[in-house]
Amino acid sequence: MQDKANRIAYLDGWRGIAILFVIADHFSGGLLPFGSLGVELFFVLSGRLMADILLVRKTDIPTFFQRRFSRIYPALLVFATAMLAVSVVGGLAGAPPHLLLEPSAYLAAITFTTNYYEAWTHTSSVLGHVWSLSVEEHSYVLLALLVVVVIRNARAAAFVSLAIAIAAMANGAIRTSLAEPGAMSVYWLSDVRMASIFASVALFVLIDKVRVPAAAPIVAAILGLSLWILPAPDMARYTVGTLLLAFAINTIDLAPKAALGALSFQPLAMIGIWSYSLYLWKQPFYKVAEIAPWWATPILVAAMFVATLVSFYGVEQPARRYINGLNLFRRRQAIAAV
């Protein structure tokens, strides 16, 4: 298998498109309903990257989780705590209870259980978007366990990942048919949405040596995007659509140079680099936009980008550098080897 991690400019562009879809959905009041598509683009990219890290570069499991922690947790903790602090101040100022953040919702966010918490309590909060991070973290734990069990045998991991993806898709179809459809009741749950990540893990390995035409990833992406942009049943989107987008991201390296150049467009790639902080901080601003006059939306979007840059350069990057620079696990391994 070829290590694909070195060619990241167009992957950042893919992230950029994903977060722009989410932002467009939220700030358009539903006129551009592409938020679920944006999250799906994040999930299939995540599957590809995690397969590369664990099955190609064979990063040891403790280091893998150290890097995941440094990437995700500090920025999340700062954001969630800031939202809790605002809620406490709002409560003291007499804000209506339904606008305040429950401590239990805060705990769910910082323990990556928001998707199940909101599904079970039928509530929603300014931290509700952490559901997707919960799906990713649960998938990382399961994938790491799988890698250990199969002793890093890539093909074995791929076939088991494919089985997990199929089982999760079937679970989603069954839940949809038996329960009232809805994002929180079905498609926010890890045992359903991990299908996207594990399908991408499987395809990363299984099609690595397969020659495909340069147009194949473009065609797959267009077909996959169409299932979200055009009217289609959720079950079709989260099965056929998922597989098409997973195929597209795992063959994107073979796409025509013009397509890769478009994805590598620097402003788009930079938005992709900022995408995690953007994903966190767009939430409070779009919540305000929902009740504010239309002319306030550009101001709120600008404020969202300011908060994003403060988070990215003031929290996300410094914390990541510091935590990854500790080298705790490598030191322990060196001591154990003596």
CA atoms within 13 A on the CB side of 171: 18
Q: Which residues fall within 8 angstroms of residue 31, CB to CB, at 6 or more apart? A: none
Q: What's the predicted TM-score (pTM) here?
A: 0.93
- Reported as a single tens digit per residue, the pLDDT across 189-221 is 999 999 999 999 999 999 987 889 999 999 999
- Which pLDDT score, from 0 to 100, does residue 335 have? 37
End-to-end CA distance of the chain, in Å? 33
- Cα–Cα dist 219/156, whole Å: 29
Q: How many helices (H) and strands (E) does the chain have?
A: 17, 0
DSSP string, 184-246: IIIITSHHHHHHHHHHHHHHHHHTTT----TTHHHHHHHHHHHHHHS---HHHIIIIIHHHHH
Q: Where are the alpha helices (DSSP H) in 52-130?
A: 61-92, 103-110, 114-121
- Reported as a single tens digit per residue, the pLDDT across 250-267 is 999 999 999 999 999 999
Q: Distance of CA 307 to CAs 79, 82, 120, 230, 277, Å?
A: 10, 12, 31, 33, 8
Low-confidence residues of the chain: pLDDT under 70 = 1-7, 180-184, 328-338
User: Over the range 126-158, which residues count as b (16 or more CB within 10 Å of their CB) and which as e?
Assistant: bbbbbbbbbbbbbbbebbbebbeebeeebeebb
Cβ-in-10-Å burial (0-12, 13-18, 19+) of 326 comes to exposed
Instruction: Copy the structure tokens of residue 238.
Output: 């989260």
DSSP letter, residue 156: H
- Cα–Cα dist 322/262, whole Å: 33
Instruction: Copy the structure tokens of residue 328.
Output: 């705790």
- Which pLDDT score, from 0 to 100, does residue 183 have? 55
* Nearest Cα residue to 43 out of 268, 199, 228: 199
Q: Distance of CA 86 to CAs 126, 170, 260, 281, Å?
A: 11, 41, 42, 14
Q: SS3 breakdown of the chain: % helix, strand, coil, rounded to 5?
A: 80, 0, 20
Q: Are 12 and 269 in contact (CB under 8 A)?
A: yes
